[in-house]
Amino acid sequence: MMSGDFFFRNKIRVAILGATGCVGQKFVQLLDKHPWFEITALCASERSVGKRYKDAVNWLLQTPLPASIAEMEVLPCSPALDCQLVFSGLDSSVAGSIETEFAQAGYLVVSNSRNHRMDPAVPLVIGEVNADHLNLANAQSHGKGKIVTNPNCSVIGLVLALKPLMDQFGLEAVQVVTMQAISGAGYPGIASLDIFDNVIPYIDGEEDKLETEPLKILGRFQEQAIIPADFKISAQCNRVAVTDGHMACVSVKLKQKASQEALIQAWCQFNGEPQQLQLPSAPFQPIHYFDHPSYPQTRLHRSLDKEMAVSIGRLRPCPLLDYKFVVLSHNTMRGAAGSALLNAELLLKKGWIYWAT
């Protein structure tokens, strides 16, 4: 187990797989000057291998590309890297096999991709919700190597909103309709002629993820397995012409009667291990509730609390279920790279990664 002062040792060496993509860039931005981690390898496809990072990447972020990173050579995604931890933002067409190869070679892989999320021995973790599920990784058969995943980008916001309600009042049914940002489809994503002035009521595979992943995350860890949560979710997913920020309109049926004030209090008082351990990437407060009748709004609230907080508003009675409300979260940050980094910080604090000497 880790103990002692984190600031008097060498940093943990990390690689990024898929470093040139939307999520990969966000990893670069977050890991540059991170107090515990330092980037030692950037990897991508054959298209980018051998180029300097600044020539391979189409940098889309508002902060400048860090000078020290810009000159690094992009390497192939093969497990011969000088690092102790691998972040994966790989395209799902290749993530499955590459991540397995790294785990088999003894690397700890922290992945955003969907491929291993529902594997029975792979933890699917949101730091504030189910940090105890990290222990599921002990059931993996890769030896020293492990794979840990974070959920789909819309699932993270939804589950952060549901967790305090489930804990205090129980959940019987959830209905969710999402409005998801274009950056969720990666770069270059959807053609401008398809998405401009338009809403597309279909995202391949997304509704299935929203109806299954929350049940694993909100399930119980028991005897090296997860007993899934036992409520039903119905999801409809739409792509809207917003750059970043996924919004969801949610209705819930609770097991116990509860007042509106009790729900708001449950959200506002909620926190988890990332806050208790004061992890560097943890939002100060994971859930912010707004009383204003037209909040949360994507442009106003997606960047709240290091882009890691979830905004909730418009809580009101639902004529079909018990209550309905709106949830907003940042898809490439809280919904991807930021949550993966939070998982890596948890893994480090919980003794899964050993410090360089």
What are the structure tokens assigned to 38, written together?
A: 């330092």
Q: In the bound complex, what is the minimum distance in angstroms from residue 40's beta carbon to ligand NAP?
A: 17
Nearest-CB residue to ligand NAP? 21
Q: Does 296 bind ligand NAP (CB under 6 A)?
A: no
Residue 238 pairs in a beta bridge with 179
Element (H, E) at 111: strand 108-111
Q: Which of residues 107-126 bind ligand NAP (CB under 6 A)?
A: 112-114
Binding segment for ligand NAP among 61-69, 86-94, 282-290, 297-305 (CB under 6 A)? 86-94
Q: Provide the pairing of β-strand 323-329 with 246-254.
A: antiparallel
| Cα separation, 230 vs 329, whole angstroms | 25
What b/e readout covers 206-231, taking b as 16+ CB neighbours within 10 angstroms?
Answer: bbebbbbbbbbbbbeeeeeebeebeb
The one among 84, 130, 178, 331 contacting ligand NAP by CB under 6 A = 331
Q: Provide the pairing of β-strand 287-290 with 310-317.
A: parallel
The one among 18, 79, 127, 286 contacting ligand NAP by CB under 6 A = 18
Q: In the bound complex, what is the minimum distance in angstroms from residue 19's beta carbon to ligand NAP?
A: 6
What are the structure tokens assigned to 98, written together?
A: 């590459």
Cβ distance 291 to 316 under 8 Å?
Answer: no
Measured from the CB atom, the residue of 164 and 184 that comes closer to ligand NAP is 184
Q: Is 8 exposed, middle or buried (0-12, 13-18, 19+ CB in 10 A)?
A: exposed
What is the per-residue binding string for ligand NAP in 176-205, x denoting contact by CB under 6 A? Answer: -------xx-xx------------------
Cβ distance 108 to 134 under 8 Å?
Answer: no
Q: Does 343 bind ligand NAP (CB under 6 A)?
A: no
Measured from the CB atom, the residue of 88 and 311 that comes closer to ligand NAP is 88
Collect contacts of 93-98 with beta carbons under 8 A, ≥24 apart.
Answer: 94/45, 95/17, 95/18, 98/17
The one among 11, 12, 14, 21 contacting ligand NAP by CB under 6 A = 21
Element (H, E) at 32: none
Q: Which of 220, 229, 211, 224 is nearest to 120 (CA)?
A: 224
Catalytic residues: 153, 246
Q: Which of 286, 330, 307 is nearest to 161 (CA)?
A: 286
The one among 28, 72, 86, 90 contacting ligand NAP by CB under 6 A = 90
Q: Which of residues 232-271 bind ligand NAP (CB under 6 A)?
A: none
Measured from the CB atom, the residue of 92 and 135 that comes closer to ligand NAP is 92
The one among 11, 15, 20, 109 contacting ligand NAP by CB under 6 A = 20
Measured from the CB atom, the residue of 105 and 277 that comes closer to ligand NAP is 105
What is the per-residue binding string for ligand NAP in 41-80, x denoting contact by CB under 6 A? Answer: ---xx-xx----------------------------x---
Measured from the CB atom, the residue of 24 and 123 that comes closer to ligand NAP is 24
Question: Which parts of this chain interact with ligand NAP (CB under 6 A)?
Answer: 18-24, 44-45, 47-48, 77, 89-92, 94-95, 112-114, 153, 183-184, 186-187, 331-332, 335-336
